[in-house]
Structure formats: structure tokens, C-alpha cells
């Protein structure tokens, strides 16, 4: 079985939207762009757990600069497949952002609610700059209003899983991004 072939079971992993090869190619391109933009600097990558951990790991290896890492965990979904509309910080940063060039690494931007909350929270910590690198963005999102510096892929409205994205903590380990075809929970 190849890395892009869904397992025989479970039956709730549907169509592959982004293959492993497409992911690696795009992450390499994003890493090269970030390397060029931050030449001579050491940006701080802030990963949003848990979904962005695979993307951030690959992205960091594609950036040819000294980078540092920190992580935040926020919740707006819980174990459901629809956002509750309330964002809360579950794990905060360990590092001081003052004067740092910060790149917020997101797995997926849906409505922009979580991103807006995080941007305000992080800007209040006085970074030298704050940019966003999102692996996936819903085609319905207002890209201009969200001010996303780097976007991996634009996708439609299906709930997706794989490459760090989950359904009730499952499927993060899939090396591709696929449509979730199981029951949608509120």
C-alpha cells in the first residue's frame, strides 16, 4: 500500500484532497519563501497544537535559517466536528515574544475566529512582526481580511483529516489530507 492509499478500514476516510507528495512540494516552497523573507534573522515559529505539529515540523526543516519553536494549544472544537464559536487557550507560550519576528503556524483556517483571537493575543505581546503561515484555508474565508502571509492550499467546505488534522484525536498520522465521511457531530 502506498503512502497515499487510504487504509482498507476505517470507512470514514474519504477522497484524498492533498497527497503526501503535494504536501511536501508545497511545504518546500513555503520554506523557501520564508527563508528569503527572513534572511539574516532567526524567526520564532509558533505552532498551534495539536493540528499544526506535522506541518510545522516539516516547514521548520524546509526553512534554511536558525529558527526557534514554541507552541500554543487553543480549543474551539473539543471533540466535535463543528466549532463551538468560543476560543480558549489551553496551553500558552513559554517564550517572550517581545522584539521577535513571529510566524504563527496554523493547520487550517475556517472562519478566522481562532486566528483573529490568536493574532490579537500575540500582538499584545509586542513582537517585532507577526505573520501567519496556514497549511489549509477554506475557500469561503476572506483572505484579505485575515491577512495571511503564506497559504499552503485552499480547500472547500468538507471536514478534513490527516497530516495533523483529526477527528476526536484520530487520523492525525495519515500522510495526506482526506475528506472525513463519518458522522458529523456538533
Work out the average pLDDT over 39-68.
96
Which one of 3.40.50.720, 3.40.630.10, 3.30.200.20, 3.40.50.2020 gives the CATH number of domain 20-77+84-173?
Answer: 3.40.50.2020
**Total-model pTM:** 0.87
Q: How far is CA 88 from the centre of its chain?
A: 17
Count of residues in the chain: 186
Identify the bridge partners of residue 133 per DSSP, sorted by sequence position: 105, 150
Residues annotated catalytic, as ranges: 110
Cell of 48: 498551534
Q: Is 178 helix (H, G, I), strand (E, B) or coil?
A: strand
pLDDT in tens, 154-173: 999 899 999 999 998 899 99
Q: CA 87, 92, 96, 100: dihedral to nearest 10 degrees? A: -50
> Peptide bond before 50: cis, by omega within 30 degrees of 0?
yes
Indicate if the pLDDT at residue 3 is higher than 60. no
Q: In the chain, what are the domain boundaries?
A: 20-77+84-173
Amino acid at each position: 500500500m502506498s503512502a497515499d492509499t487510504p487504509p482498507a478500514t476505517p470507512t470514514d476516510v474519504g477522497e484524498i484532497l492533498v497527497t503526501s507528495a503535494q504536501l511536501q512540494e508545497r511545504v518546500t516552497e513555503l520554506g523557501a519563501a520564508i527563508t528569503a523573507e527572513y534572511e539574516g534573522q532567526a524567526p520564532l515559529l509558533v505552532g498551534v497544537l495539536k493540528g499544526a505539529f506535522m506541518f510545522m515540523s516539516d516547514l521548520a526543516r524546509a526553512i534554511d535559517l536558525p529558527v526557534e519553536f514554541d507552541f500554543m494549544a487553543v480549543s474551539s472544537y473539543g471533540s466535535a466536528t463543528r466549532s463551538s464559536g468560543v476560543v480558549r487557550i489551553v496551553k500558552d507560550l513559554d517564550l517572550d515574544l517581545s522584539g521577535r519576528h513571529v510566524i504563527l503556524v496554523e493547520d487550517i483556517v475556517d472562519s478566522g475566529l481562532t486566528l483573529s483571537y490568536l493574532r490579537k493575543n500575540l500582538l499584545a505581546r509586542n513582537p517585532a512582526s507577526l505573520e501567519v503561515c496556514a497549511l489549509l484555508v477554506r475557500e469561503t474565508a476572506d483572505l484579505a481580511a485575515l491577512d495571511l502571509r503564506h497559504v499552503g492550499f485552499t480547500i472547500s467546505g468538507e471536514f478534513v483529516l490527516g497530516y495533523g488534522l483529526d477527528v476526536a484525536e484520530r487520523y492525525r498520522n495519515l500522510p495526506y489530507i482526506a475528506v472525513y465521511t463519518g458522522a458529523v457531530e456538533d
